[in-house]
Structure 1
Amino acid sequence: MTALSSDLLPSGGHVVTRNRALDPPWRDGGNMSGGHMVTKRLTKRVVEALAPRDERYVVWDSDLKGFGVRISPQGRRTYLARFRTHGGSDRLMALAPHGVITAEEARERARLAIAEAAQGGDPQADKMERRGEMTMGELCELYMAEGTAMKKASTLKIDRIRIDRHIKPRVGRMKLSDVSRADIQRLMIDVGNGRIRAEATPHTRGGKHAAARTVGLLGGIFSFAIERKLMTENPVRGLKRYKDNRRDRFLSPAEMARLGDVLIELEKDGGDPRHINIIRLLLLTGARKNEIAHLKWSEVDLERGLLRLQDSKTGAKTIRLGAPAIRLMTGLRANGSVYVFPDRRHPKRPVANLDWAWVNIRKRAEMEDLRIHDLRHSFASAGLAGGEGLPLIGKLLGHSHISTTSRYAHLADDPLKAAADRISELVAMELMPTLVADTSSDPDI
C-alpha cells in the first residue's frame, strides 16, 4: 500500500487518505467514504458553499483530476494538487488558501504541477526547496551587513530608511526568484504616489525623487546578490525610471543680494548668528552643509586659509578659504566648545535646527524653492561667471570622482588660492560688502 507521506503535508495538517487497493479518489467517479468527495467543477461559489465539519475533509474537482480543496473545522479552505512522481510516490501539495488566489488560479497551478510530474518533475520537492530560498527582506539585511563597506554612515542611514519604509512593505516577503521587473515597477509607482508611505507610517516621505533613489538602491542590492551568486539577473536592469530630478538651481546676482540683505536684517533683529554665519560661509566656500555646520576649531587654519576636515561625504578633505571667508571666521568668537557653531543647550554637539532656520530665511527672501545645497551650486556659478575654469572650480568643490579629480591633480595650490579669493570676493560683494577687501591702495589692482 502506498500512502501520502505526512512530511509532504502543510504543517499541522492531515488529509484522510485511501490506499491504492481501494482506488484513489479521482478514479471513484462519485461520493466516497474515508473523507473524500468528488463534486462538480470547483468554482468560487462551490468552494464557499462547502460547510466545515468536525474533521478536515477534501473535495476533489470533477474536471481536473488531482485538483481539490481542503476544508478545515474552522472553515479554512486550501487548494491542493495531488500527483504521482515517476518514482511511484504520491504527492499532495498545498497550493494556496482560497481568497489569496481564486479557484481558477488554483486550477491553473494544479494543472501545471500535475503536468510537471507527468514529465518526470517533482513540484512538491521544488516547493520544499524554495522554502529555504532567501527573501528580499533577508537579502536587504545581508546587503546592509556585508555589502556597504564603502558607504558613509549618513548614506547608510538613508538606505536603512528606504529599505524599511519602501522596499520591505512591498517586496520584503517575496522570494528572490519571484521578484520581477513588474514588481519593481509597481513599487516605484507606489512610492512615487506616496501609497507605501500611508501604509507604513505617516512620517515616511514618498514622491518621484524618493522612488528614483529607492530603485537605484534596489539595483545595487540586486548587483550584490548576483556577485554572491544568489541571483542570475538584475530585475532593475532595463526598467524605465522616474528622473532623479537633480536640480541645478543657483542664485542670480540679484537673488544673492536679496539673500544678503535678509541675513543682515536678521542679524539686526536678533537672529541666531550661528545660523546666519553658516549660510554666509556656505556661499563663500561652496562647502556642503555639514562641512560647515559640524566644523571643529581643530580643523580651522586661518593662517593658511584652510579648513582641514577630518571627515566629509568623500572622506578627509581640505577646503581653501577665500579672503572674505577668512575675515568672517576671524570675527567669530571662541565659545569654549570644540565646534565652531555649537548647540546652545549641548555645547558638546554641533548646532541644531539649521534646516528650520533656513526655511524662515528663504521665506523672508521670497525664494522658497531654494535648498541649502543650492548655495554650493551658486558658488560654482559665481566662479564660472567670473571666468574661472571648470577644473579650478571642481578642485575647490572637492569633487570625489577619480576621473574628475585626476584632471585637477596637476594644478598648484597658488592658482587655487587665487581662484578661491576671486570667487569669494565676487560672492561677498553681493552677500555682505563689509567683507570685501579694501583694494583702493593696492598698486596691482
Structure 2
Amino acid sequence: MRRAETIDLNTINPASVALPPQGERMIHDSEAKGLSLRLRATGARTWVVKEKVGGKTTSRTLGLVALIPLATARHMVAAQPLLPHNDTNVPTSAPLFSPDARIWEVMPHFLAMGETGRWKPSTVRKMRAAAHTHILPLLGLRKVRDLEPEEVARWQMDVAAKSTAVRMALSTLSGLMLYAEDHGLRDPGCNPCRGLRKKQRSKRGQLLPTATVRRLWTALDRLHDAMPNACDAVRLLLLTGARRSEILSLEWDRIIGPRAVLQDSKTGPRTIWLNAPARMILDTRREMITGRYVFPAARMDGPMRVLDHAWSMIRKKAQLGTLRVHDLRHHFASVGVSNGIDLRLVGQLLGHQDIDSTLGYAHLPTAALTKSATRISGRLDRSLRGQHSDTTTRRRTLRTAAVVSSNVAMEAAHG
C-alpha cells in the first residue's frame, strides 16, 4: 500500500493492517469525508478527522480504533458539519435535533458549546477524551430520550472496571443529558445520571510516617546533582501542598514575596503560600535559572510537563513503595489538620473551592479527636458550672461531658 491512500475502510480490518516501519501512515475513508485511519510505528491505531477551525484545516484525533467502531467514527464525522468548532454565530435556540436524536449526534454540539469559553481548555480535552473513549463506543447509538438510569448504572460499572476516568466520563454524560433537556430531547429533571456518585468520598492519601519523610528528603539530597529540577519540584510539592501542574508550570513573575499568585489553576485563580524553606529553594534557583519558568523544559521552550520517570527513581532510592506524587499533597493536608489547623484554612492552602474537597484529605488521628473532645467537654463543664451552683447539677454536667468525650473518641476509633 502507498503511504497515503483512499479506500472504503469497511473493506479492511483496521486492527490487522500493517504498521509503518517508522513514522505514521494515513488511510483515508472513501465513504466518510474527512475520516482517516492513522497507523503509527509505535503501535497506535486511531481515527482522525480533518476539520476547519478559524479558516485553517486541522486534524483531530477521535479516539482509538480498538474502542471506537468504524460505524461510530463515521457517525461522529458526519455530525461535525452541524456545528463548527468555536462558531459563536450559530443560534443555540434553533432546533438542531430530531426527537429521535442519538447520543453520537448530540455529543459534538454539547462539546462545541463548552469550547466557546464555558469550560477551561483542559476540561474540554478531558471531556472530549471521555466522550470518545467511554461514551460513544458504548452508548453512541442509543437514542437520547431512551437512556434510563439502570442502563447508565451498568455503563458506569463497566467503565470503572477498566478505567480510572469514570468520574470524568460520568460528568460528561450527565452534562450531555442536561444539554438534551435544554433542547427538548428529554423532559426536565429526568437526568439518568442523577444519584450516581461522580466523586468517591473515601480516605484519600495518608499521613506519612516521620521516617518516610526523612528517607524522601535524604534521597532528594543524594539525587539532586543528577536531576536538580525534579528534586526541587518534589521538595516544593511537599512543602506547599500544591498540585504537580501548579509547581511545574510556575513562572517567576507570579512569585510575589511569600506567595505565588496563579492566574489559572484547576479551580481557577489562586495563591500558593510559600514558607521559609520553600522561599529558600526558589531563591537558590533564581540565581541559576534564566527564562520565564521556574522549572524550564530541557529540550523546548516551556515548562516541565512530566515528573514520572524522575519520581520513579526518587521513590526507589527512598524505598517509598507505591507512593504517588499526589500523596505529598495529602500528607501536607493531613499534617495541617492533625495539628489543629482549621479545615477551612487548610482548604485555602490547598486551593479548594469547598469544604467537602478538604474533608477528603483530612484524616484526623484518634488521639487528636480524643484531645479535641476533652477540650470541648471541659469548656461545657466550665460554662454550665458558672450557671448552676448546686453540686448535683455540677456532677450531672461532668457525667454528660464525659459521655460526649467518650462517644467522640469511640467514633474516631471505629471509623
Q: TM-score by structure 1 length?
A: 0.53
8 Å CA contact 1:136, 1:176 repeated in 2:
yes
1:396 to 316, 325, 349: 349
Structure 1 partner of 2:313: 360
1:220 to 162, 175, 194: 175
Structure 2 partner of 1:340: 294
Shift of residue 398, structure 1, vs aligned partner: 2.3
**1:162–1:320 distance in 2 versus 1, CA, 3 Å:** same
Larger CA Rg, structure 1 vs 2: 1
2:267 pairs with 1:314: yes
Aligned AA (1:226):
E
Distance 1:239 1:392 in 2: 30
1:62-84 deviation digits (Å, cap 9, x = unpaired): xxxxxxxxxxxxxxxxxxxxxxx
2:217 pairs with 1:260: yes
Aligned AA (1:293):
L
Structure 2 partner of 1:140: 107
After superposition, residues 161-240 of structure 1 pair within 5 angstroms as 161-194=129-162, 206=163, 209-232=164-187, 233-238=190-195
After superposition, residues 382-421 of structure 1 pair within 5 angstroms as 382-401=335-354
**1:139–1:359 distance in 2 versus 1, CA, 3 Å:** farther
2:261 pairs with 1:293: no
1:294-328 deviation digits (Å, cap 9, x = unpaired): 01111122xx2111112111222222211111111
Shift of residue 362, structure 1, vs aligned partner: 2.1
8 Å CA contact 2:204, 2:330 repeated in 1:
no
1:248-287 deviation digits (Å, cap 9, x = unpaired): 33423222112111111212xx321101000100111111
Distance 1:238 1:226 in 2: 17
Aligned AA (2:254):
E
The more displaced of 357-366 and 281-290 is: 357-366
The more displaced of 271-280 and 310-319 is: 310-319
Aligned to 2:261, the other structure's residue is in SS state strand
**1:188–1:251 distance in 2 versus 1, CA, 3 Å:** same
2:318 pairs with 1:369: no
Shift of residue 242, structure 1, vs aligned partner: 9.4
8 Å CA contact 1:135, 1:172 repeated in 2:
yes
**1:396–1:189 distance in 2 versus 1, CA, 3 Å:** closer
Shift of residue 238, structure 1, vs aligned partner: 4.4
Distance 1:193 1:288 in 2: 27
Aligned residues: 258
1:348-374 deviation digits (Å, cap 9, x = unpaired): 211143122222222333334322222
Structure 1 partner of 2:384: none
Aligned AA (1:343):
A
Shift of residue 133, structure 1, vs aligned partner: 2.7
Shift of residue 159, structure 1, vs aligned partner: 1.1
1:37-94 deviation digits (Å, cap 9, x = unpaired): xxxxxxxxxxxxxxxxxxxxxxxxxxxxxxxxxxxxxxxxxxxxxxxxxxxxxxxxxx
Distance 1:221 1:286 in 2: 34
Aligned AA (1:145):
A
Shift of residue 334, structure 1, vs aligned partner: 4.0
**1:265–1:240 distance in 2 versus 1, CA, 3 Å:** closer
1:319-345 deviation digits (Å, cap 9, x = unpaired): 221111111111113433211110111
Identity among equivalent positions (%) equals 37
8 Å CA contact 2:241, 2:332 repeated in 1:
yes
Shift of residue 401, structure 1, vs aligned partner: 3.2
Aligned AA (2:204):
R
Distance 1:163 1:178 in 2: 18
Aligned AA (1:263):
L
- Consecutive unaligned residues of structure 2, counting only runs of 5 or more, are 1-96, 359-415
Structure 2 partner of 1:43: none
Aligned to 1:193, the other structure's residue is in SS state helix
Structure 2 partner of 1:83: none
Aligned to 2:165, the other structure's residue is in SS state helix
Structure 1 partner of 2:32: none
**1:355–1:240 distance in 2 versus 1, CA, 3 Å:** closer
Shift of residue 132, structure 1, vs aligned partner: 6.2
Structure 2 partner of 1:323: 276
8 Å CA contact 1:211, 1:242 repeated in 2:
no
**1:374–1:226 distance in 2 versus 1, CA, 3 Å:** same
